[in-house]
Amino acid sequence: DSAMTRVFGTFITCLQENRKPVFVIATANQVQNLPPELLRKGRFDELWFVDLPTLEERKAIFEIHLNKRGWDPARFDIGTLAKNADKFSGAEIEQVVLGAMYEAFSQHRVLRQSDLLDVQFATVPLAITMEEQIDSLRHWASSRARPATPTSAVMEMIAEEAQVSRQ
């Protein structure tokens, strides 16, 4: 505990006394456990809540991770993959791509849509495993932080429900 206190003290002093233009970004999964003196205006000017990726963001994440590994995203139905990845984090989407590639590689063949879907359906995202904690964090952030994405996963669900009720 005293080591953590010293680290926070040093960091706060650095933020307070630095006279050069510095842009500091920090992340925390349990921001409610951070000391209040760290979060006050002037130290961190803004708190942002980064929710799970939206449908469009999930499409982009699939494309990024397929491209990064030499696969042309146009060969795959990215829309279906992104839709099925509701509640997946970016890291979980990356693991879907990697897991599917390992499966295809182990069978000495190219990556297929079915490989991606199989890994996807076998994955239980953390947002489901830790649903209560994530809901609690969303509730905390709703009145204390700015959303990092204009359309959060919650807004997507509301829009989808509105569409269904109009039909």
Per-residue model confidence as pLDDT tens digits over 131-164: 999 998 899 888 888 888 875 555 666 667 667 7
Q: Would you place residue 19 in the very low, low, confident or very high pLDDT band (cuts 50, 70, 90)?
A: confident
Q: Choose the weakest-confidence range: 29-38, 72-81, 130-139, 140-149.
A: 29-38
Q: How far apart are the C-alpha atoms of 96 and 69, rounded to whole Å?
A: 13
Residue 59: is its pLDDT beyond 80?
A: yes
Cα angle: 65, vertex 91, 145; to 5 degrees: 120
Residue 62, φ and ψ in degrees, nearest 5? -60, -45
Segment 109-126 shows an average pLDDT of 97
**Beta partners for 49?**
147
Q: How far apart are the C-alpha atoms of 77 and 104, rounded to whole Å?
A: 17
Q: Choose the weakest-confidence range: 21-35, 79-93, 117-131, 153-167.
A: 153-167
